[in-house]
Chains A and B, each alone.
Chain A
Amino acid sequence: MSTTITTISTSDGADAVDRAPSPMRGAHRRWWLRPRFAISGTIVLLMILMAAFPQIFTGFGPGPTENCDILLTNQPPSAAHIFGIDIQGCDYYTNIIYGARASILVGIVVSAIAFGIAAVVGAIAGYFGGWIDALISRICDMAFGLPFILAAIVVLQLFGQRNIWTVIFALALFSWPGGVRFMRSSVLEVRNREYVQAAKLLGASNGRIIKKHIVPNAITPLLVLQTLGVGGMISAEAGLTFIGIGLTPPAVSWGLQLAAARDYIDAAPHLLIFPAIFLTVTVLGFVLFGEALRDEFDPKGK
């Protein structure tokens, strides 16, 4: 085996053995060169940058609610204001750029919380089995029995003024049962492997086995699942905000902008079009990124 490898790649010299055998290895090495990864990764990075430092994109000019002139209300796009002017007479481009923060933050933080809960609880359920597993699985069934959007609406109504963190709380509260089930089944696959049994025989504690052997070997599918979920959470936030149950002013978000634009569909269509485009591109970017990631780790699911 090793002789064929060295004869094929003699020109590569010493690191030839490193490179040849597994097709997966080559795939991992070049994944960022693939078009789907490159495009979706760029969108994701750009949006995260926009959420973190909106000033970069607005040329360090005035913020979204400064420098407004109510006399210019709903003006269509022009050279000075490329996305036009909104209802309050503010530059719409600035407003949309600053609106990225709400979507990105909600999408990523909710998915991260769901990921954390699912990783820990799923690993415990899968590893210990027995009554712990039964208890956790029944709790998941209960949370799963509630339609997600419905549960989120009920929680959101507990708050009169809703900012980004209240929305994150409401969405995160019921976002984990799918992940827990998923993690539990991938833990069940690895928990009887030889290296786990070897670790047990060597006297490693349960905590150490879970941390060092179970979680690292079972976590990838969950990571991919939660990445795919970011887009869905961004949609959910924008949708809830749009029907008036999510974020409330003075927050700046695409959902709020779309809701305000509804009353001016005929008079000022630009109010509707630009946030819709930003929201769509962002969600598509995250969905594509998650899919590309999944295909990379699980080529069978293509």
Chain B
Amino acid sequence: MLGYTLRRILQMIPVLLGATFIIYALTFLMPGDPIAALTGERPLPEATVAQIRQAYHLDDPFFVQYGNYILGVFRGDFGIDFFGRPVLDLILERLPVTFALAVTAWGLKLVIGLVIGVYGGLRAGKAADHFALVFTVLFMGIPGFVIALGGQTYFGVHLGWVDPAGIRAGWPMAFILPALVMALEAAAGLARLTRTSLVDVLRAEYLRTAKAKGLSPQRIIWGHALRNAMIPVVTYLGLSLAGMLGGAVIIEAIFNLPGIGGLMVASINNKEGTVVVGIATLLVLVYLVFNLLVDLTYGLIDPRVRI
């Protein structure tokens, strides 16, 4: 177990380096001079420009810049922005909003997706199952931001149940609508997976054995069928939480929530490369850690998997 964990952590390093390098290269290939963006209408004297360029290592070769950056990241230093604020502080300031949104959406998705999936799976081929299928296809098909716009207009503007945008109402009122939009879109896939997995397990021979032994239906469903059907579902759930952090960008923009997404878009517009790379690095790191946790969880729910 310990050996496996260590090996996995070692394997994460090249992936982390590669992914951050891609983002780093893309960001610093961005057209436009960051110092010109910083000063705006009134150009700075040349000596000052040279001083700034030197202070931020802008004249170093590209690989040296990246090397410096990544060494800093391993020490917890994500660099500073053009106003001298540490990038890590900027991100950590915004992170709770995005995190609250992603976790709320993930929780809602978990409940909606599992209920529909399990219900449809246990009644495969019956009316409830068909209803579940229509639901999942609808929400997989309707683009998330169209649902967001519809919900914002109807519940926010017409009915006035929640604020159409902004974070003034705090958690949960400001988060409930954007989280629900994200959850509905993602729940469809989860419901689908749960149903398929459950239907497969219900056909398995060990369930016939359980029935033949005379176990109660409750025992069969909770103790045997669901436990086995959950194995692929857990993988999916773990990976999707990390994915939701990334997917929150568009939803945050629509509902005007001051999270990572807004910071990302603003930083790109201001050519604040260090902030862009910092966010991407952090998200990649989160994704990889979740990936690892998911694989380690395998062993807990499926004793057949020895890690």
> Which residues of A approach B to under 8 Å, CB–CB?
138-139, 141-143, 145-151, 153-155, 157-158, 160, 231, 234-235, 238-240, 242-243, 245, 258, 262, 265-266, 269, 272, 276, 279-280, 283-284, 287-288, 291, 301-302
Cβ of A163 to closest chain B Cβ, rounded Å: 16
Cβ of B90 to closest chain A Cβ, rounded Å: 17
> Closest chain B residue to A154 by CB distance?
B26
Assess the A235–B19 pair: CB atoms within 8 A.
Answer: no
Assess the A151–B138 pair: CB atoms within 8 A.
Answer: no
CA distance A243 to B149 in the complex (A): 12
Knowing A280-B141, A283-B142, the reply to whether A139 touches B30 (Cβ < 8 A) is: no
Contact indicator per residue, chain B 125-151, by CB within 8 Å of chain A (1) or not (0): 000000000000110111111100110
30 residue pairs of the A-B complex, CB under 8 angstroms, read: A139-B18, A141-B15, A141-B18, A142-B14, A142-B18, A145-B16, A145-B19, A147-B243, A147-B245, A147-B246, A147-B283, A147-B287, A149-B249, A150-B246, A150-B264, A151-B23, A151-B280, A153-B264, A155-B26, A235-B145, A239-B144, A242-B254, A258-B145, A266-B157, A279-B143, A284-B142, A287-B140, A287-B141, A288-B137, A302-B196
B144 neighbours in A (Cβ, 8 Å): 235, 239
A272 neighbours in B (Cβ, 8 Å): 149, 153
B22 neighbours in A (Cβ, 8 Å): 142-143, 146, 151
Assess the A158–B29 pair: CB atoms within 8 A.
Answer: yes
Assess the B141–A284 pair: CB atoms within 8 A.
Answer: yes
CA distance A280 to B19 in the complex (A): 33
Knowing A146-B22, A245-B265, the reply to whether A240 touches B143 (Cβ < 8 A) is: no
CA distance A229 to B144 in the complex (A): 15
CA distance A45 to B179 in the complex (A): 35
Assess the B243–A239 pair: CB atoms within 8 A.
Answer: no
Assess the A149–B15 pair: CB atoms within 8 A.
Answer: no
B215 neighbours in A (Cβ, 8 Å): none
Cβ of A190 to closest chain B Cβ, rounded Å: 23
A239 neighbours in B (Cβ, 8 Å): 143-145, 250
> Closest chain A residue to B14 by CB distance?
A138
Q: Which of B250-295 contact A (CB under 8 A)?
A: 250, 253-254, 264-265, 268-269, 276, 279-280, 283-284, 287-288
CA distance A231 to B140 in the complex (A): 9
Knowing A139-B18, A154-B268, the reply to whether A265 touches B157 (Cβ < 8 A) is: yes
> Which residues of B approach A to under 8 Å, CB–CB?
14-16, 18-19, 22-23, 26-27, 29-31, 137-138, 140-146, 149-150, 153, 157, 196, 242-243, 245-247, 249-250, 253-254, 264-265, 268-269, 276, 279-280, 283-284, 287-288
Beyond the given pairs A153-B249, A262-B149, A279-B143, 9 more chain A to chain B contacts, judged by CB atoms under 8 angstroms and listed by A's residue number, are A142-B19, A143-B22, A150-B246, A150-B283, A235-B145, A242-B145, A258-B149, A272-B153, A288-B137
> Closest chain A residue to B247 by CB distance?
A149
B288 neighbours in A (Cβ, 8 Å): 145
Cβ of A253 to closest chain B Cβ, rounded Å: 13
> Closest chain A residue to B17 by CB distance?
A142
Cβ of B275 to closest chain A Cβ, rounded Å: 12
> Closest chain A residue to B150 by CB distance?
A276
Cβ of B181 to closest chain A Cβ, rounded Å: 12
CA distance A258 to B144 in the complex (A): 13
Assess the B141–A231 pair: CB atoms within 8 A.
Answer: yes
A269 neighbours in B (Cβ, 8 Å): 153
CA distance A283 to B29 in the complex (A): 33
Cβ of A272 to closest chain B Cβ, rounded Å: 7
Knowing A145-B288, A147-B243, A239-B250, the reply to whether A280 touches B146 (Cβ < 8 A) is: yes
Assess the B143–A283 pair: CB atoms within 8 A.
Answer: yes
A153 neighbours in B (Cβ, 8 Å): 249, 264-265, 268
Assess the B15–A147 pair: CB atoms within 8 A.
Answer: no
Assess the A145–B142 pair: CB atoms within 8 A.
Answer: no
Assess the A158–B30 pair: CB atoms within 8 A.
Answer: yes
